[in-house]
Structure 1
Amino acid sequence: MDQPQWRGRDLGTRTVRYDDRDAILYALAVGAPATDLDLVFEERLRVLPTFALTRAQWAPDALGEAGAFDVATAVHGSQRLRVHRPLPKEGELELTARVAEVWDKGTAAVFEVVVECAYFAATWSIFAPGRGGFGGERGPSARARPDGPPDLEFTLDTEPEQAALYRLLGDRHHLHIDPEAAKAAGMPRPILHGLCTLAAITLPLARRAGAHPAGLVALDGRFAAPVFPGDRIHVSGWNDGEDLLFEAAVDGTTVISGGRAQFRVTT
């Protein structure tokens, strides 16, 4: 099927279930300490909004399985999340997914997969080598790095076992656990999930914004380079009105660019 014909494709509706154990496991997997009882203790639990992305991973996977791109070479290019209201501690989510857009990058195509429900809207951008050149529009450019020195900086240590833990939430692509699969993809060893890295950054960002991590209402980030479990991430942030713009790097190499987070701040 020609790439433009994927635009607008309905990927279906699914009802997904979860309980407080799933939400607590997720919080631990993205770096919440055991002392943050409102993230890891069921009696006080507030569910991290980024947990929703683990429930919706089936949608971009379904597009690859349908033949839109080669699942062996396509990569997760960027992620967007817009939160409508807080997730309950447990329950059901009815998710509807579609292909919102297909951009032509010349040698590659970018597929935008949108998943929506009453609680959130999320967009996966999947970069698919070899699928471009069909004469379509290139799409929007990446957000430029803000001018001037950062308003805040911090480091974040990932854990050696973090990818093995995070994959229990649903993304079991072999690249994150199997050394042979990582080598086949051109990586020296298994890599950390991009969504794990992005979510982990929101925890300290929230604190520096005077907010709770569960108060996240908007999040964007582009995955510029892989992160390996155990890496130390350096995060730089800029205040931009209600938004915090950020970039993340490992040993001087940018791993997340075009970052944007907004939190609901309560007094």
Structure 2
Amino acid sequence: MNSPADWKGRVLGERTVAYTDRDPILYALAIGARPDELDLVFEDRLRVLPPFALTLAQWAPDVLGSAGAFEVGNAVHGSQRLRVLRPLPPAGEISMRARVPEVWDKGSAAVYDVAVESDYFVATWSLFCPGIGGFGGERGPGRPPALDSPDWTVPLSTADNQALLYRLLGDRHHIHVDPAAAAGIGQPRPILHGLATLGAGALVAARQVGAHPADLTSLEGRFAAPVFPGEELRVEGWSDGGLRITSERGPVVDGGRVHFG
């Protein structure tokens, strides 16, 4: 396949992934769960945070890169969407199927949407791949519009070892641990996973609005800039579910939405 457009509609296969209760507990800790949030960190009463599903489905965008759709070292995780269908069990096996529903032409880059479907969730990655645009496809969605002043703002501290914890959940790309790999993408040091930042923001939002974080029904966000482990962030929220996460350098997640049942 020579053109990014040729990948539209491509089926990426099926996979069944098993996990134990250790994994959703590790996920909760990696995005900032507190010791007193026992039903997030204690197996005897465990409720699984829905964005944990994204760690189970990470295989799908990796399959697309390995198949040669784009240069893996140059691709950037542009945005993420998650729709929850049913609560995940504390442990078990999840069967998933993946495909490429859309490929967008941004001129200088191509954007691949990778959708993963299961009985429990539907998750969609958008992968921004520079240098392979201009193939004559539709441009697709633009950047989200700027938002007014938020209804609430809460500080969010990231931990120095947060990327090291989060990568144990399956996303072991070297830019999250190896300074040389981070330098290869123009960053001064390893960066935090965008999904760790987004998950941490959803956890903060649940606390702020008085919802249980395991009752999350949908989550999305666009990754606007990198986060460095140890940075101080701010989570900004709107009464309609709007979500934005910023650092002192500006937005790191924008166009966000989070809803709870």
* Range into which the TM-score falls when normalised by the shorter chain: over 0.9
Structure 2, unaligned runs of 5 or more = none
Could you tell me which residue of structure 2 aligns to residue 6 of structure 1?
7
Contact 1:108 1:129 in 2 (8 A): yes
Summarize deviations over 1:158-196 as a string: whole Å, max 9, x none.
Answer: 000000011000000000001111111111000000000
Contact 2:204 2:235 in 1 (8 A): no
Equivalent AA in structure 2 for residue 96 of structure 1: R
- What is the CA distance between 1:248 and its match in structure 2? 1.1
Match of 2:252 among 247, 251, 255: 255
Looking at structure 2, the residues matched to 146 and 183 of structure 1 have their Cα atoms a distance apart, in angstroms, of 32
Looking at structure 1, the residues matched to 231 and 150 of structure 2 have their Cα atoms a distance apart, in angstroms, of 22
Pair 1:143 & 2:140 matched: no
Q: What secondary structure is seen at the aligned counterpart in 2 of 1:98?
A: strand
Moved beyond 6 Å, runs of 4+: none
Could you tell me which residue of structure 1 aligns to residue 224 of structure 2?
224
Pair 1:127 & 2:124 matched: no
- What is the CA distance between 1:144 and its match in structure 2? 1.2
Pair 1:163 & 2:160 matched: no
- What is the CA distance between 1:145 and its match in structure 2? 2.4
Looking at structure 2, the residues matched to 144 and 44 of structure 1 have their Cα atoms a distance apart, in angstroms, of 41
Contact 1:9 1:98 in 2 (8 A): yes
Contact 2:231 2:247 in 1 (8 A): yes
Looking at structure 2, the residues matched to 113 and 56 of structure 1 have their Cα atoms a distance apart, in angstroms, of 10
Equivalent AA in structure 2 for residue 216 of structure 1: L
Could you tell me which residue of structure 1 aligns to residue 51 of structure 2?
50
- What is the CA distance between 1:252 and its match in structure 2? 3.9
Looking at structure 2, the residues matched to 100 and 107 of structure 1 have their Cα atoms a distance apart, in angstroms, of 21
Looking at structure 2, the residues matched to 210 and 173 of structure 1 have their Cα atoms a distance apart, in angstroms, of 35
- What is the CA distance between 1:143 and its match in structure 2? 2.0
- What is the CA distance between 1:257 and its match in structure 2? 0.6
Looking at structure 2, the residues matched to 153 and 27 of structure 1 have their Cα atoms a distance apart, in angstroms, of 22
Pair 1:185 & 2:182 matched: no
Summarize deviations over 1:36-94 as a string: whole Å, max 9, x none.
Answer: 10000001100000000000001001101111011111100000000001000100000
Looking at structure 2, the residues matched to 166 and 236 of structure 1 have their Cα atoms a distance apart, in angstroms, of 23
Q: What secondary structure is seen at the aligned counterpart in 2 of 1:208?
A: helix
Q: What secondary structure is seen at the aligned counterpart in 2 of 1:239?
A: coil
Looking at structure 2, the residues matched to 229 and 256 of structure 1 have their Cα atoms a distance apart, in angstroms, of 15
Summarize deviations over 1:118-169 as a string: whole Å, max 9, x none.
Answer: 000000000000111011100012221223x211111100000000011000
Looking at structure 1, the residues matched to 153 and 126 of structure 2 have their Cα atoms a distance apart, in angstroms, of 27
Looking at structure 2, the residues matched to 167 and 32 of structure 1 have their Cα atoms a distance apart, in angstroms, of 17
5 Å-filtered alignment, 1:1-267, equals: 1=1, 2-147=3-148, 149-240=149-240, 244-264=241-261
Contact 1:209 1:263 in 2 (8 A): no
Equivalent AA in structure 2 for residue 263 of structure 1: F
Q: What secondary structure is seen at the aligned counterpart in 1 of 2:43?
A: coil
Summarize deviations over 1:168-226 as a string: whole Å, max 9, x none.
Answer: 00000000001111111111000000000000011110122221010100001000000
- What is the CA distance between 1:4 and its match in structure 2? 1.1
Q: What secondary structure is seen at the aligned counterpart in 1 of 2:214?
A: helix
Q: What CA RMSD, in Å, does the superposition of the two structures yield over aligned residues?
A: 0.8
Looking at structure 2, the residues matched to 42 and 128 of structure 1 have their Cα atoms a distance apart, in angstroms, of 40
Contact 2:82 2:219 in 1 (8 A): yes
Looking at structure 2, the residues matched to 247 and 21 of structure 1 have their Cα atoms a distance apart, in angstroms, of 30
Percent sequence identity over aligned pairs: 62
Q: What secondary structure is seen at the aligned counterpart in 2 of 1:73?
A: coil
Residues matched between the structures, number: 260
